[in-house]
Amino acid sequence: MSQPPAAYWHPFAAMDAVAGTEFVITRGDDVWLWDDAGRRHLDATASLWCVNAGHGRPEIIDAVTAQMRRLATYQTFGDFANEPALALARRLAALAPVPGGKVFLVNGGGDAIDTAAKIAREYFARTGAPERTVLISREHAYHGTYGFGTTLAGIPANRMAGPLVPDAVRVPYDDVDALEAELERLGPERVAAFFAEPVIGAGGVLPPPPGYLERARQICTRHGVLFIADSVICGFGRLGDWFGLDRFGIVPDLIVFAKGVTSGYLPLGGVVAHERVAAPFWEPGAAPFRHGATYSGHPTACAAALANLDVLERDGLLKRADALEGPLHEALRTVADHPLVAEVRAGVGVLGAVGLDPQRLRAEPDLPARIARAARERGVLVRPMAAAIAVSPPLTFADAHLDLLADALGGALDAVG
């Protein structure tokens, strides 16, 4: 009997190439995944930067199961609430490096970015500066694929639908003086917020130049511009702390989070707002913030997050991230002298990238995909990007897993090169 036509529309995929030929994952355990042919693969990407606690954690699975038996779902509009959402908000507010944090929960990183953008603009509308609408982001930045995030993204290919939101501009990712110059060009009295990932992730794994984020924070403060930290990738241990900000010593006005908050077990994201930014929304007589989703504060997703935070704390995975940072860099540096490699970017958190030779990329744009496929054939899953191969393993990676990663990358580069 013939199979029905393929129906699943994959994100970020050329459907004529993948439909009906999918690489189907059937099972996961810690750092390992199995495909539908029974082959085992090392997950060196933590799915998409998110499975920080590793796959198949019984504590998270049990918490989700128990919550679904008790109350699987219910909305939190108006005065409705559920215990996991209330508990998670209190816990995240206590962990976040902002005073008096208030937590707005949504479904993932993309809509958390859009939530933060709306909070920023409405904050100024409520405080007598409605002309402050301009949002600034960085080239190579990735802020999701919803309306605001697509417009803010510093990845031109993601903007094929055209600019979706007005009053959004981008500055070079590595030149903090350009940020100040752009503010002066625009007029700081028109600017609402500056968005920055602690380490740019999907745009190529680009750590900030020394002092960049600290100076950007100072510039924003001086001009009254909100500093929004997009910690979707960098949070919950990826940089060795809860929100990926501690090593930079900055206190943002808004923090956007998702991914590692549940280790990807269920979709959840949100925004932590500094008490000063939250005040005009929380003060007596304040009008409602007319924003939210059916699944805001979803009880089962919040239960997954609470259990995941327990695992990260109990197993010391934030400290493990600190211990992994250097060895991961060294593992990637084993291929630094390969003819296909232009540079290795790592050493800030448990993520890194192998940048590929620009001349070869111009001649062979599919080079990253071919290298990733060759690594997969060697039992290791890495992520092809436009000009690099990225890795972001679970925080449960051991030294032996790093050796497997290095061997697979070297073999893949040799096979393609």
- pLDDT per position as a tens digit, 312-358: 999 999 999 999 999 999 999 999 999 999 999 999 999 999 999 99
* pLDDT tens-digit map of 3-47: 788 999 999 999 999 999 999 999 999 999 999 999 999 999 999
**8 A C-beta contact, residue 199 and residue 212:** no
Confidence of residue 164 (pLDDT cuts 50, 70, 90): confident
What fold is seen in the domain 60-315? Aspartate Aminotransferase; domain 2 (3.40.640)
The answer to whether the 60-315 and 316-416 domains have the same CATH topology is no
| String of DSSP letters for 209-269 | PTTHHHHHHHHHHHHTPEEEEE-TTTTTTTTSSSSS-GGGT---SEEEE-GGGTTTSS--E
pLDDT of residue 1: 58
Q: How far apart are CA 34 and CA 40, in angstroms?
A: 5
**First-last CA distance in the chain:** 42
Q: How far apart are CA 245 and CA 35, in angstroms?
A: 36
* pLDDT tens-digit map of 184-243: 999 999 999 999 999 999 999 999 999 999 999 999 999 999 999 999 999 999 999 999
pTM over 0.95: yes
What fold is seen in the domain 316-416? Aspartate Aminotransferase, domain 1 (3.90.1150)
Write down the domain spans for the chain: 60-315, 316-416
Query: How are beta strands 40-43 and 32-35 bridged, if at all?
Result: antiparallel
pLDDT of residue 163: 65
* DSSP element (H, E) containing 110: helix 109-126
**8 A C-beta contact, residue 233 and residue 201:** yes
Q: What percent of the chain has pLDDT over 70?
A: 99
* pLDDT tens-digit map of 38-88: 999 999 999 999 999 999 999 999 999 999 999 999 999 999 999 999 999
pLDDT of residue 317: 98
Nearest-5° Cα angle at 270, 264 to 271: 145
**3-class SS of residue 176:** helix
Q: How far apart are CA 279 and CA 249, in angstroms?
A: 24
